[in-house]
Amino acid sequence: MKVTINDVAKKANVSKATVSRIINGNYERNTDETINRVLKVIEELDYRPNALARSLKLTKTNVIGIVLSNLQNPFWTKVLDGVEDTCQSLGYNLMIFNSKDKAELEKEHFRAFDIRQLDGMLVNPTLKNFDLYKKFVMKDYPFVAINRKISGLNVNTITSNNIKGAEMAINHLLAIGRRKIAIILYETEGISPRFERLEGYQKAMRDNGLEIDNSLIKIIPDRKGEARKAVQSMLAVAKRPDAIFSTNNLMTLEVLEAIKKMNLTIPEDIALIGYDETVWSEHLNPPLTTVKQPAYEMGGIAAKRLIELINIDKGEIPTPEIITLEPLLIVRESCGGIKKEES
C-alpha cells in the first residue's frame, strides 16, 4: 500500500501541514524534536511526496545539495561561488544547508536530501556521522567531500595541502628571524585541516633544526572567545612568543584583538600569519600575511566532479580519489617582510 502524508502525520503525531513544511525545508515554526521525529518517520516509512514522484520520471532532478559546517566563515563564501558558477554552467540548481558543525543537524540535512531525491551531495563533514556517510556511499549515491577527509571511507574528496600551507608559513617566519613561534588551532577531533596544519608546523620546525616547544602549541575549544583568552595568557608571560601562526581566519580576528589588548604592536613586538585569505586581510593595519587556499577552485572542482558522478553509468563509476590543491603564501607587513607572493 502506498504511504501517504496522512500516514506520516499520524505516526509522527503532527498535522499534515507540519509534515509538508518540514519536507519543503521550512523548519522555523517547529522544534528540533518535532523536525527529527518527522524526518525519522519519513525515513522509516520510505515516504515520497507525489509532486516529487512526478518530477522523477526521468530519475533526475538536476538539483544537488551542499552541506557546509560554518556559513559565517568567509572561506566558504568563496567555495560556494565556485560551486554555484559550475552548477549554473552545467545546468544544475543548488540547495545550501548549514550544519553548524553539529552532528544532529547534519543528519537532518542528509535525510532531507534523501527525501527530496537530490541528484548528489557535496559536504564538508562534521566527521561525527561515519555510519551515515558510509550508508550513502555504499548505495552509490553521488557524494563528494570538500576540505575535510573522511578517514576510513573511500570517498571522492577535494581538499587543500594543509601540511604545505603550514610549512610555508613557518618557514617564512623563520627566514625573517622569528624563533619562538606559537601555533593556535581548534581541537582537532579528527578534522584533517586542523591536524595537518599542526603536522606542517612541527615538520617545518624540525626541518630547521628546532625543538618543538609544547608550550607554544595552543589547542583550544572551537568556541567564540577561546582564541582571545589563549593569546592573552600566552603574551602575559616574560618569555612570550615572537610570532603567532593562526590556523583559522575567524580565529585570527580574536588573535588581533588579544594583541591589541596587551598593548603590543605588529610586527615590532610580535609577527602574525593567518590561514585563509579574506577581503579584509589586506586592509588591516598592518596588512596581514596569509596562507591562501584556492577556495573558489575547490568549489568548482568539487561540483564538476559530483556532476560527472551523477551522469556516469553505474557500472562505470571510477575509483574515488583525493584531489589536493596547492596553497599560496601572500606576504604583507604583519611579519615584517616585504610584500610578495610565494608559491
Residues 6+ apart with CB under 8 A from 139: none
Helix (H, G, I), strand (E, B) or coil at 182: strand
What percentage of the chain exceeds 90 in pLDDT?
A: 70
Nearest 5°: the CA angle 169, 122, 106 is 95
pLDDT band at 38 (very low <50, low <70, confident <90, very high): confident
The answer to whether residue 78 scores a pLDDT higher than 90 is: yes
b/e map 197-223, b = 16+ CB within 10 Å: bbebbbebbeeeeeeeeeebebebebe
The full set of domains in the chain, from first to last, is 1-47 (1.10.260.40), 162-293+327-342 (3.40.50.2300)
Q: Which residue has the cell 576540505?
A: 147
Q: What is the mean pLDDT of the chain?
A: 90
**Contact call for residues 243 and 311 (beta carbons, < 8 A):** no
Over residues 194-253, the pLDDT tens digits come to 999 999 999 999 999 999 999 999 999 999 999 999 999 999 998 999 999 999 999 999
Q: Which residue has the higher pLDDT, 128 or 53?
A: 128
Measured CA to CA in angstroms, residue 127 lies from 57, 133, 225, 254, 319 at distances of 34, 9, 24, 26, 22
pLDDT score of 112: 81
Over residues 96-124, the pLDDT tens digits come to 999 999 999 999 888 888 777 789 999 99
The answer to whether residue 57 scores a pLDDT higher than 50 is: no
The answer to whether residue 343 scores a pLDDT higher than 50 is: no
Instruction: Look at the chain and count its residues.
Output: 343
Ranges 76-85, 308-317, 334-343: which has the least confidence: 334-343
**Contact call for residues 281 and 332 (beta carbons, < 8 A):** yes
